[in-house]
Amino acid sequence: MVHERHLETMTAVSPHAKHFLQMRQPMGMMVGRRFLQSRLGIPALSRAEKAEAQRGLDVLRAVVARLHRSGVPIVAGSDTPMPSVVPGYSVHEEIARLAEAGLGADGALAAATSVAARLLRLDGEVGVVAPGARADLVVLDGDPVAAVTDTQCVAAVVIGGRPVDRVAFTEAVRRAVVTT
């Protein structure tokens, strides 16, 4: 799910998202209705539609929780180019939803890091902070084990052992989106 603060980026990167939102799918119903209603003229959901979306999400949470309890590895991922998914933003939302679905903060963080690396057969190389591992890090201003939403409090990004100038990176993305 993408919070409204990410919708400007989402619609720039994924302009087709407006069509997805017109579908009556749980994900489409959840994505920033107020923002999109004001800009795209999408009608408000009825109570029945809201209830249907909530039931669908409840079923998805229950399935994820049961799979996790059964020992099935759960992995967080971007699912790009899935409509309404913004690379770099949506994974934070997914981590929070996985924690709520029964993985807890530790399990949800592992789903986005070490479990994903293990299933990709990259364990020890990525998804961990360890000698010999790739030096790609997201430095947080907070404790995501105590409050999983602290994954959204990004203080710095390091790729290949070098800090990323986030302002310059964001501007480069904006320029690329405008010129394509």
* Helices and strands counted in the chain (H then E): 9, 3
Q: Supply the mean pLDDT for the chain.
A: 77
The pLDDT tens digits for 31-63 are: 555 555 555 555 666 788 777 878 888 888 899
Alpha carbon 177 to its chain centroid, in Å, reads 20
Q: Please determine, for residue 88, whether its predicted confidence score (pLDDT) is greater than 50.
A: yes
Q: Please determine, for residue 19, whether its predicted confidence score (pLDDT) is greater than 50.
A: no
CA distance 154 to 132: 24
CA distance 144 to 56: 27
Residue 16's Cβ-side half-sphere holds a number of Cα atoms within 13 Å equal to 5
Q: Please determine, for residue 16, whether its predicted confidence score (pLDDT) is greater than 80.
A: no
Counted residue by residue, the chain has a size of 180
The pLDDT tens digits for 158-170 are: 988 899 998 888 7
CA distance 149 to 95: 8
The pLDDT tens digits for 124-147 are: 888 888 888 887 888 999 999 999
CA distance 15 to 90: 16
Name the pLDDT band for 78 (thresholds 50, 70, 90): low
Sheet (strand 162-163) strand order: 137-140, 154-159, 162-163
Q: Which residue has the higher pLDDT, 172 or 141?
A: 141
Which residues have C-beta within 8 Å of that of residue 71, sequence separation ≥ 6? none
What 3-state DSSP class applies to 35? helix
Residue 4: the pLDDT is: 44
CA distance 65 to 81: 25
Residue 177: the pLDDT is: 65
Q: Please determine, for residue 79, whether its predicted confidence score (pLDDT) is greater than 70.
A: no
Q: Please determine, for residue 80, whether its predicted confidence score (pLDDT) is greater than 80.
A: no
Q: Please determine, for residue 17, whether its predicted confidence score (pLDDT) is greater than 90.
A: no
Task: Calculate what percentage of the chain has a pLDDT beyond 70.
Answer: 67
130: buried, middle or exposed (CB in 10 Å: 19+, 13-18, 0-12)? exposed
Contact yes or no for 16/22 (Cβ under 8 A): no
The pLDDT tens digits for 99-116 are: 999 999 999 999 999 999
What 3-state DSSP class applies to 115? helix
Residue 11: the pLDDT is: 45
